[in-house]
Structure 1
Amino acid sequence: MPLSPFRRPRRALHTALLTTLATATVTATLLASPSAAHAAAPDHGTGPAAGADQVPGMDVSRYQGTVDWQGAWANGARWVYVKATEGTTFQSPTFPEQFQGAYDIGMIRGAYHFARPDTSGAAEQAAHFVDHGGNWTADGRTLPPALDLEHNPYGPDACYGRGQADMVSWIREFSDTVKDRTGRAPALYTTSDWWTRCTGGDTSFGATNPLWVARYAASPGTLPAGWSAHTFWQYADSGTFPGDQNWFNGSYDELKALAQG
């Protein structure tokens, strides 16, 4: 049954260019690293134990409603992605409150756009996103914008009716438009399965776009082609924090460096 655009699809879901980090080694590791589709749901499991080299976080949408930010902070969440838009018409009615609530509690936060390659061009969707929450500021508290690429929850074709080369062009146009408007290339949220099926395993984004990989298991597993490491990992759709459970693949200082841009 098709899901409402007012909630985040939960079927086969959900790297990065970290500029000017402390050392070239750290930069190279984080560069080499989006979210997964939900039609072929990721394997369920628990994430790894917390460590100095990773920072717990979450992602939320209208589906989570009013978020207990104090509780999430007390339980260790230090960053969040908030759904802002979908297609060219939908704006999450909870985005302003959620985005501000995350900021007020002290989290580093970013906005994401749910891609609808079946409904309109990439440049139009990117402009809608940037105009309604997807902008970026160098305040050290704002993550790069993110593009959610996952199995089509509204129809049988996981790839939204687009061929692989056409999908790569759509993603490239979205990324280029966001970078032109904000100064940051967006993180790409996807699964290895969706990326292989819908882009043919394209490798051209690994050096420019942070990877937010979705895999509900004990490890991120084999990453989408083009990335040798992930920046964000969504490992479960419920747990300690509201919404989806995530890790940032690095230290808190590296997370702040990514936000600073």
Structure 2
Amino acid sequence: MTAPFDLIVVGAGMAGISAANKAVGAGWRTAIVDELPYGGTCALRGCDPKKILRRGAEIIDAATLMRDKGIDANGLSINWADLMRHTRGFTDPVPANAERELASNGVATLHGTATFTSPSTIDVAGTVYEPRHVLIATGARPRPLGFPGADRVIDSTEFLHLDSLPRRIVFVGGGFISFEFAHIAARVGSTVTIIDRGDRPLRGFDPDLVDLLTARSAAVGVDVRSRTTIDAIDGTESGHAVRLDTPDGAADIDADLVVHGAGRIPNLATLGL
């Protein structure tokens, strides 16, 4: 058993890092652990890289809206590979910078999977600790998809690491992740479909605003299929065949890429709770 900490924070995203810095500033012996690079979803795999991609899409959209109003948008396009390299210029330094700041503040930085071995002990990569407190800040992960062929679906993290964007993309789920990525992909030039099982996408958002968004989506070529579920995804010579159950019966969509945007659940599976 190692020397005790007052607090071990499990999860080195923005919430966990903030808590660890505040705790050590209050005089607590503090450690933080993550099995992934430090920085968390927002800085590495979500909000921040997405904003850079979105900015590229916004430039294309603004130029298109100004066509015949003094702006010639002919030939304007997104080079996805260059845009991704630009994005990584922001995200790649984050883990080392976050860990360096934590260490300089006096926080012990640990790496590996954290699993409770008893109500008072936690194992981190084979070393057992007995802290006075544990703060769980592990965030969320994509919820499991229950249809055959779900292993063919990539998640949003993988989407943000694509070196090229394929021509035909299907997004599973009508949430904000699907809509944000779908609009980016449409501006790049992909043919995009969103599959949503509900009567209206983006449940929980203002219905009038959602209606405006769905109309705008259709205008830029995003095909939103409501009251539609996926029965299965099969492999084909050219990609994937997405088998659908629609209000009008069975239907298929051919896709080069299928992306998970159907919600997230707490990321607790490895904690042994």
TM above 0.5, yes or no, is no
From the CA coordinates, give the structure whose radius of gyration is larger. Answer: 2
TM-score normalized with structure 1 length: 0.28
Highest RCO, 1 vs 2 (Cα 8 Å, sep ≥ 6): 1
Q: Greater helix percent: which structure?
A: 2
TM-score normalized with structure 2 length: 0.27
